[in-house]
Amino acid sequence: MPGIADFIVIGGGIAGVSVAYELLPHGSVIVLEQESALGYHATGRSAAVMTENYGTPIWSRLVSASRGFLENPPEGFATAPLLTDRGALFLAQAHETGLLQAQYDALVARGARVELVPAADALRWCEVLRPETFAAAMHEPDCKDIDTNELMMGYRRGIRAAGGVIATGARVTAIRRDAGGWQVDTTAGAFQGGTIVNAAGGWAQQVAGMAGLGHRNVLPFRRTAVTFDAAAGSNLHRWPMTFDLAETFYFKPEAGRVMVSPVDMAQTVPCDA
Ligand SMILES: Cc1cc2nc3c(=O)[nH]c(=O)nc-3n(C[C@H](O)[C@H](O)[C@H](O)COP(=O)(O)OP(=O)(O)OC[C@H]3O[C@@H](n4cnc5c(N)ncnc54)[C@H](O)[C@@H]3O)c2cc1C
């Protein structure tokens, strides 16, 4: 019966479909997604780059651990390469050069390829920079663009090919536990599972609450991104993903335009951002 599985994964973003895929060898899997399509929320709105030098140290270690799969996915997983060259550039002001050096040392220790240069030299990667604002730059050539659509489709194909079920339009509304395991009510009917995986992203606390669990320290934040046309004649397609160390901006080429974010993180309620 399709409504019963060993594992019920709540959330059809990158977290949900990737964990569902990895669980396939261990039992039957059902993914429940409230929207009509996978990847509708954070997953469909990311800048889609893989860099080993962004966010907390644990993020960087997770990226390093994921690199092998993304570079060499299993046979038949994807119909196109998941990664293409992008490069990343990190810009430090004079008072931040010690921090940049520390990041450089940590990356080298992990085996990442990185280059430290005076800020003026960074113009060779991105000609629109104003190097007088910065003192130093670090270039990470192995930062890649991720084809997030292909990645999501690869997981979807893999789950379905192995007999897994992906139910969209299935918003979980109630969860309870009885002798038969976890009973999960959704807008697309009832499901039953031995183990539930909470991959509900910004809604993780709500889902935990339905299952009778206490506070989970997973909080939704909103981040802004805008796109606009680059100046005529620019080498846009060659620009790396460019960050400042103080995290007041990043920008990159995105579908023939410039995508820029002020790297804001405004706490919010889970919603269609
Ligand atoms: C502007 C921006 C740029 C980013 N850039 C990058 C980047 O360059 N590189 C990078 O690695 N990361 C980036 N990220 C982060 C990345 O997008 C997220 O870490 C990732 O998408 C989170 O995936 P998720 O599956 O946890 O969440 P989501 O994609 O939000 O998935 C959670 C899913 O759970 C579903 N759900 C919630 N409640 C229920 C329910 N009750 N019943 C059923 N389904 C439910 C939701 O509908 C949703 O589809 C960026 C994020 C933003 C916002």
pLDDT number for residue 55: 82
The reply to whether 153 falls in a domain is: yes
Query: Do 137 and 156 belong together in one domain?
Result: no
Shared domain check, 242 and 116: yes
CATH of the domain at 205: 3.50.50.60
Treating both helix axes as pointing N-terminal to C-terminal, what angle do 148-161 and 14-23 enclose, rounded to 10 degrees? Answer: 30
Domain identity same for 122 and 228? yes
Between the CA of 13 and the centroid of ligand 1 the distance, in Å, is 6
Tally of domains within the chain: 2
User: Per mean pLDDT, which range of 45-54, 96-105, 164-173, 192-201 is the poorest?
Assistant: 45-54
Q: What is the pLDDT of residue 259?
A: 96
Q: Is the pLDDT of residue 1 over 60?
A: no
In the reported structure, the alpha carbon of residue 181 is separated from the centroid of ligand 1 by a whole-number distance in angstroms of 28
Looking at the structure, tell me whether residues 138 and 23 fall in a common domain: no
Say if CB 128 and CB 249 are below 8 A apart. Answer: no
**Contact present, 91 and 245 (Cβ < 8 Å):** yes
The percentage of the chain sitting over the pLDDT mark of 90, rounded to a whole number, equals 89
What pLDDT is stored for residue 64 in this prediction?
87
Output the pLDDT for position 2: 59
Q: Is residue 166 part of a domain?
A: yes
Domain that holds residue 236: 85-143+221-267
- Tokens, residue 50: 């893989």
The mean pLDDT of 96-116, rounded to a whole number, is 93
11 and 134 within one domain: no
119 lines ligand 1 (CB under 6 A): no
Across the range 193-216, mean pLDDT stands at 96
Residues 120 and 228 in one domain: yes
* 162 shares a domain with 128: no
Rounded distance, CA 184 to CA 256, Å? 43
169 and 257 in a common domain: no
Q: Where is the domain boundary, 188, 210, 232?
A: 210
User: Is residue 244 domain-shared with residue 193, that is, in the same domain?
Assistant: no
34 and 123 fall within a common domain: no
Average predicted confidence (pLDDT) for the chain: 95
The answer to whether the CB of 49 is under 6 A from ligand 1 is yes
| Contact criterion met (CB below 8 Å) for 70 and 83 | yes
Within a domain: 72: no
Q: Please choose from 18, 31, 34, 222 the residue to mutate so as to test ligand 1's pocket, defined by most ligand atoms within 8 A of CB.
A: 34
Does residue 66 fall inside a structural domain?
Answer: no
Establish whether residue 168 lines the binding site of ligand 1, counting it when its CB lies within 6 angstroms of any ligand atom.
no
Give the pLDDT score at 53: 81
Residue 253 lies in a domain: yes
pLDDT band at 270 (very low <50, low <70, confident <90, very high): very high
Give 5-33 pLDDT, tens digit per residue.
Answer: 999 999 999 999 999 999 999 999 999 99
116 in a structural domain: yes
Instruction: From residue 187, give the alpha-carbon distance in Å to each of 40, 100, 157, 174.
Output: 17, 49, 24, 10
Please answer whether residues 9 and 16 qualify as being in contact, where contact means their C-beta atoms are separated by less than 8 angstroms: yes
pTM here is 0.94
**Is the CB of residue 166 below 6 angstroms from any atom belonging to ligand 1?**
no
pLDDT tens-digit profile of 129-149?
999 999 999 999 999 999 999
In a domain, 78, yes or no: no
Are 8 and 139 in the same domain? Answer: no
Task: Please report whether residue 61 resides in a domain.
Answer: no
User: What local confidence, expressed as pLDDT, does residue 112 receive?
Assistant: 86
pLDDT at residue number 92: 98
Residue 165 Cα to ligand 1 middle (Å)? 20
Write down which residue in 168, 187, 210 finishes a domain.
210
The CATH number given to whatever domain includes residue 139 is 3.30.9.10
Tens-place pLDDT, residues 157-188: 999 999 999 999 999 999 999 998 999 999 99
Q: Are residues 134 and 157 in the same domain?
A: no
Of 18, 39, 19, which Cα lies nearest the Cα of 168? Answer: 39
Distance 41 CA to ligand 1 centre (A): 5
Q: Using most ligand atoms within 8 A of CB, pick from 33, 146, 251, 268 the residue to mutate for ligand 1.
A: 33
Cα–ligand 1 centroid distance for 11 (angstroms): 9
User: pLDDT digits over 52-89, tens only?
Assistant: 888 888 888 899 899 999 999 999 999 999 999 999 99
CA–centroid distance, residue 114 to ligand 1 (Å): 29
Q: What is the pLDDT of residue 57?
A: 85
